């Protein structure tokens, strides 16, 4: 997608330095567009932990290259597995990280040591290209939902979509998941408006989703996380589309903290609640998301402080709780499948259930 009229992916290999990758430092958005060069697995691990790079599919893709940076030094089985373990541990909830690393390790272990670096770059490049194609397909399938909402309104007014956190192109290699249908609807001329949950505590909504939508010219309004239910009650939300970090075999959805509360409000107000995901986000090995999905606990400082810029455009960080107060910061929650209208995948839309998922991804077509 574009930033200031220039087309980018959120991750790329520069032609003049092909043993490195480039990413945006997403902690600087929207105030600055800072590009980081990564050429070492420890720098990749730091970028993921510190959320310079974030978003389930994107952290998987970046970690894939981090694995190659490690085996450039030592491509032995033990070194490969040690680097894989280190990178997988950087963030526990998004299954795409583990999926990408396991895909790379499985491929590289079949090869002689001397072939692993070149083959690794080829596999990571392929993984990125696949992510772009998959997300474009998600966009096309999700676009149909927005078209239906537009028709249901007699093609009058606007289609109002609420989204939580950032599941846009900067959360993936390109296009995004939840935002891909919105971009396509906008480009098709459907008047779409997005309610953007600010998404405390790191404000991926107000800082990243609003930045993305504004860059693409999509109408949007930033709202407090707690306002979504109010707008649903007022009939101002036609559908909710969010991303996800892990979907279980029975359709439970892990996503940014606050998603569960949005799903409850949507269910109470009969607002369709859709979750957009590539199949790399399905974890076929777990069923009960509430019991089985590890929820990342991040620093309480992310809750106790807010980061932004002051009126002099100076980056600032202000405390929003008494000095003596402690905080807690679970980064994700799990929405039970019963609250999910459906899943938007690269192969189409399906119910949030094992039957629904298997209708699109039969057992023989997936790695269990
Ligand atoms: C397309 S995956 C986006 C998903 O990842 C985000 O988490 P984080 O910003 O912490 O990496 C959020 O849960 C989004 O829904």
User: In CATH, what number is assigned to the domain containing residue 25?
Assistant: 1.20.120.420
**CATH number reported for the structural domain that contains residue 263 in this entry:** 3.40.50.10470
**Is the same domain home to 36 and 109?**
yes
Which of 56, 197, 277 is the pocket-test mutation for ligand 1 (most atoms within 8 Å of CB)? Answer: 56
- How many CB atoms neighbour CB 137 within 10 A? 18
pLDDT at 367: 53
pLDDT at 365: 66
**Is the same domain home to 117 and 164?**
no
Question: Which residue, 73, 94, 129, sits at the end of a domain?
Answer: 129
**Is the same domain home to 93 and 180?**
no
**Is the same domain home to 74 and 164?**
no
- The span from the CA of 174 to the CA of 10, in Å, is 6
**Is the same domain home to 189 and 76?**
no
The residue among 72, 75, 73, 62 whose CA lies nearest residue 105 is 75
**57 domain-assigned:** yes
Q: Which residues of the chain have pLDDT under 70?
A: 364-368
DSSP 206: I
Give the C-alpha distances (Å, rounded to integers) separating 242 from 3, 262, 276.
22, 10, 6
Cβ atoms 130, 137 nearer than 8 A: no
Is 313 annotated as contributing to ligand binding?
Answer: no
The set of protein residues with a Cβ atom below 6 angstroms from ligand 1 is: 54-57, 165, 167, 171-172, 177, 204, 242-245, 255-256, 331
Is 72 annotated as contributing to ligand binding?
Answer: no
**Is the same domain home to 187 and 90?**
no
- The span from the CA of 315 to the CA of 82, in Å, is 38
pLDDT at 18: 87
- How close is the Cα of 55 to the center of ligand 1, in Å? 4
**Is the same domain home to 84 and 207?**
no
**Is the same domain home to 62 and 30?**
yes
In sequence order, the β-bridge partners of residue 23 are: 11, 36
Which of 24, 48, 54, 136 is the pocket-test mutation for ligand 1 (most atoms within 8 Å of CB)? Answer: 54
- How close is the Cα of 241 to the center of ligand 1, in Å? 13
**Is the same domain home to 229 and 294?**
yes
**134 domain-assigned:** no
- How close is the Cα of 115 to the center of ligand 1, in Å? 34
The question of whether 245 is a catalytic residue gets the answer yes
The residue among 298, 252, 278 whose CA lies nearest residue 61 is 278
- How many CB atoms neighbour CB 299 within 10 A? 12
Outline where DSSP puts E strands in 119-172.
159-163
Enter the ipTM.
0.98
**261 domain-assigned:** yes
**Is the same domain home to 76 and 120?**
yes
Total of domains in the chain:
2
Residue 52 corresponds to which tokens in the numbers above?
Answer: 């310079």
- The span from the CA of 209 to the CA of 257, in Å, is 16
Strand order through the sheet with 11-12: 11-12, 21-24, 35-38
Ligand 1 atom closest to the Cα of residue 204 is: 9
- How close is the Cα of 334 to the center of ligand 1, in Å? 13
Is 156 annotated as contributing to ligand binding?
Answer: no
pLDDT at 366: 57
**Residue 29 belongs to what domain range?**
2-129
């Amino acid at each position: 997608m574009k930033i200031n009229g220039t087309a980018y992916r959120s991750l790329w290999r520069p032609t003049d330095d092909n043993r490195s990758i480039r990413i945006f430092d997403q902690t600087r958005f929207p105030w600055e567009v800072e590009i980081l060069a990564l050429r070492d697995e420890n720098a990749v691990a730091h970028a993921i932990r510190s959320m310079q790079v974030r978003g389930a599919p994107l952290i998987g893709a970046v970690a894939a290259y981090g694995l190659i940076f490690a085996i450039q030094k030592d491509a032995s089985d033990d070194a490969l597995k040690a680097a894989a373990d280190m990178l997988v541990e950087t963030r526990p909830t998004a299954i795409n990280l583990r999926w990408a690393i396991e895909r790379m390790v499985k491929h590289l272990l079949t090869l002689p040591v001397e072939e692993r670096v070149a083959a690794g770059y080829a596999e990571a490049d392929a993984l990125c290209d696949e992510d772009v194609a998959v997300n474009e397909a998600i966009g096309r399938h999700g676009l149909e939902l927005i078209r239906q909402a537009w028709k249901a309104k007699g093609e009058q007014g606007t289609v109002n979509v609420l989204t939580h956190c950032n599941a846009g192109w900067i959360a993936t290699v390109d296009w995004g998941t939840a935002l891909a249908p919105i971009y396509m609807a906008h480009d098709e001329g459907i008047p779409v408006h997005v309610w953007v949950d600010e998404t405390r505590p790191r404000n991926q909504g107000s800082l990243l989703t609003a930045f993305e939508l504004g860059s693409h010219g999509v109408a949007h309004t930033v709202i407090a996380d707690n306002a979504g239910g109010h707008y649903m009650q007022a009939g101002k939300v036609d559908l909710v589309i969010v991303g996800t970090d892990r979907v279980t075999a029975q359709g439970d959805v892990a996503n940014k903290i606050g998603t569960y509360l949005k799903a409850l409000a949507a269910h109470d107000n009969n607002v369709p609640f859709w979750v957009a995901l590539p199949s790399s986000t399905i974890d076929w090995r777990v069923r009960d998301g509430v019991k089985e999905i590890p929820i990342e606990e991040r620093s309480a400082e992310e809750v106790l402080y807010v980061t932004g810029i002051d009126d002099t455009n100076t980056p600032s960080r202000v405390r929003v709780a008494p000095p003596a107060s402690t905080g807690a910061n679970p980064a994700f929650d799990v929405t039970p499948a019963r609250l999910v209208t459906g899943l938007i995948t690269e192969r189409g839309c399906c119910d949030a259930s094992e039957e629904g998922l298997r209708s699109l991804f039969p057992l023989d077509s997936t790695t269990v």
